[in-house]
C-alpha cells in the first residue's frame, strides 16, 4: 500500500510540476503576444503619422501651386486690362519727373506744366 501512496504522491507532484510549467509557458506566451501587439500598434501608428504628414505636405504643395497659378493669371488679367496710349504714358512720365524734382521743395516753388 505504501508503494501505491508513494506513486500517487509522485504522480501528483509530477502533475503539479507540469501545471506550473504550463502556466509559466502560458505567461511567457501572453507576455510575448502583448509585446508583439504593442510593437504592431506602434508600427501602424507611425505608418499612419507618416502617411498623414505626406498627405499634408502634398496638400501644401498643391495649395502653393494653385496660389502661384492664380497670382500669375491675375497678373496676366491686370496687364491685359491696363493699356496706356502714348499720350497717357507721356503725361505719367512727366508727373513722375515733377514729383522727383519737387521732392523737398514747398508746393508753391514747384513749376506747373
Phi-psi region of 108 (alpha: psi -120 to 50; beta: other; left: phi over 0): alpha
Of 95, 88, 92, nearest to 112 by C-alpha is 95
* Contact yes or no for 97/113 (Cβ under 8 A): no
The DSSP output letter for 82 is -
Using only C-alpha atoms, the chain has a radius of gyration, in whole angstroms, of 44
Structure confidence by residue, pLDDT tens digits, 48-88:
999 999 999 999 999 999 999 999 999 888 877 777 788 88
pLDDT for position 112: 58
Residue with cell 514747384: 110
Structure confidence by residue, pLDDT tens digits, 35-44:
999 999 999 9
How much is the pTM?
0.49
* Domain regions of the chain by residue span: 2-106
Distance CA 27, CA 24 (A): 5
Say whether pLDDT at 109 is over 80. Answer: no
Side-chain half-sphere exposure of 35, counting CA atoms within 13 A: 6
Distance CA 19, CA 27 (A): 12
User: E-assigned strands of the chain?
Assistant: none
Amino acid at each position: 500500500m505504501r508503494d501505491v501512496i508513494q506513486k500517487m504522491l509522485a504522480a501528483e507532484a509530477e502533475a503539479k510540476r507540469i501545471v506550473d510549467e504550463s502556466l509559466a509557458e502560458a505567461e511567457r506566451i501572453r507576455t510575448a503576444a502583448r509585446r508583439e501587439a504593442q510593437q504592431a500598434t506602434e508600427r501602424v501608428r507611425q505608418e499612419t503619422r507618416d502617411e498623414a504628414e505626406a498627405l499634408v505636405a502634398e496638400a501644401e504643395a498643391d495649395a502653393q501651386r494653385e496660389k502661384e497659378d492664380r497670382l500669375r493669371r491675375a497678373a496676366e488679367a491686370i496687364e491685359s486690362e491696363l493699356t496706356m496710349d502714348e499720350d497717357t504714358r507721356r503725361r505719367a512720365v512727366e508727373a513722375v519727373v515733377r514729383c522727383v524734382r519737387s521732392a523737398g521743395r514747398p508746393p508753391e516753388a514747384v513749376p506747373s506744366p
